[in-house]
Structure 1
């Protein structure tokens, strides 16, 4: 069951809505979640650009082509970097 049952209506200009929608999308959040987080004092972070993930995929390919012990270390480091970039644990 949905816990949130009370709405808050805010009037904005078309330009303001486009800007806030873009910022929410950049963070990977819905417009409602983005506004909720901002209103509650959180500053959501943006996702890295697609090129960052392309580079991480290339590092994974390199790790797979290395000697097993080196490949395991490279893969572990790549996982650590990936988690830092996307907010993993």
Structure 2
């Protein structure tokens, strides 16, 4: 279960929305996921299987229940895996 509960609203033109929607579809991503990846400096090239995101979400949950040091280590590893799997920097 995702813990995303905060929204970010932006205004775009009809043409901009069509273009961004097309780019998201081309990558096999929802509009929200495409915008999220772009905002986090990922270069979407395709959509990894849903299970990849489920595993990364689970790692974040595990990290939250650990000691601060262990949590930071797990968080760093999970972030690195995101970079490798999703195509980040």
TM (norm. structure 1) is 0.50
Q: Distance in 2 between matches of 1:88 and 1:45?
A: 10
The aligned residue for residue 56 of structure 2 is 56
Aligned CA-pair RMSD: 2.3
Q: Distance in 1 between matches of 2:59 and 2:26?
A: 24
Q: Distance in 2 between matches of 1:62 and 1:54?
A: 12
Q: Distance in 2 between matches of 1:66 and 1:27?
A: 35
Find the structure with the greater CA-based Rg: 1
Q: Any unmatched runs of 5+ in structure 1?
A: 1-23, 30-43
TM (norm. structure 2) is 0.50
| Total equivalences in the alignment | 52
